[in-house]
Amino acid sequence: MKLKHLEKLLENLEGFSKPSPLLEQYRTPAPLAARLLFHAAMRGDIEGKRVCDLGGGTGVLGIGAALLGSRDVVAVEIDPDVLGIARKNARQAAVEIHLIEAEVKYPQVLPLVGACDTVVMNPPFGAQQIHADRPFIDAALAIAPVTYGIFNAGSRSFISSYIAGRAEIDEVIGGLLPIKRTFAFHREEVREIPVEILVLRTKVQHENQPANPGERGT
Ligand code: SAH
């Protein structure tokens, strides 16, 4: 599938009907979602893989992953009304994804989802509830070895120190998140927020690896 084609399919999906500011319900615009997914697909992290979408919302990222050939997609979302829209969207896109109504709380969410190959997410940025992004990061790192997440531009250094010892930022891809006037406190019709797609890779501990490979010698 071509990037433009995926964008078009995602564009046609239904968005939030009554977006909650507290839950930071902003739909990822189709071009940004398609970009994230294509990038992950190019890296071999989508096709044939088990993918988890944390804070799946109306399903844009999860449905996109399924359209690009994921073996299985699980989306976790706290808001049951929004899950209804995601269900409709999946039907419209003719893909099957597993929707789980739950709060992304670490570690409680882990047994609900099980191990995955890849996490895709556009988590709350923590603009309304401080640190709302942290359980998403904690859960993502425990669920899958690689995470493609959308974050506020400039949060890179915070995230890098937050995940230190557990994972590292493997790649940073810049982008803009056009946010339409959704809530009364928004002053402009459309505001473009600079965001970054961060690729987080967990550090793998290989049991058979010598503690200090440099001293292996012969
Ligand atoms: N992934 C979607 C939605 C992004 S908005 C997209 O890309 O368009 C963030 C989503 O996370 C919202 O749907 C919101 O309801 C959900 N959410 C916020 N806090 C949550 C939590 N603690 N647990 C589960 N879902 C949460």
Contact (Cβ atoms closer than 8 angstroms) between residue 156 and residue 198: yes
> What's the domain count of the chain?
1
**Does residue 89 line the site of ligand 1, with CB under 6 A?**
no
Q: How far is CA 3 from its chain centroid? A: 18
Task: Note down the domain range covering 44.
Answer: 3-15+23-148
In a domain, 36, yes or no: yes
Does residue 45's CB lie within 6 angstroms of at least one atom of ligand 1? no
Per-residue pLDDT of the chain (218 residues; tens, 9 = 90+): 999 999 999 999 999 999 999 999 999 999 999 999 999 999 999 999 999 999 999 999 999 999 999 999 999 999 999 999 999 999 999 999 999 999 999 999 999 999 999 999 999 988 888 899 999 999 999 999 999 999 988 889 999 999 999 999 999 998 777 777 766 777 777 888 889 999 999 987 555 545 444 444 44
User: In whole angstroms, what separates CA 117 from the centre of its chain?
Assistant: 13
* Tokens representing residue 37 in the block: 């997914």
User: Residue 110 falls within a domain, yes or no?
Assistant: yes
Is 24 touching ligand 1 by the criterion CB < 6 Å?
yes
Give the domain CATH number at 133: 3.40.50.150
Whole-angstrom distance, CA of residue 53 vs CA of residue 138 = 14
In a domain? residue 193: no
Phi and psi (nearest 5°) for 61?
Answer: -70, -45
pTM, two decimal places: 0.91
Which three-class secondary structure state does DSSP give residue 23? coil
Asked if residues 155 and 196 have their Cβ atoms less than 8 Å apart, the reply is yes
Q: How far is the CA of 68 from the centre of ligand 1 (A)?
A: 22
Q: Is the CB–ligand 1 distance for residue 101 below 6 Å?
A: no
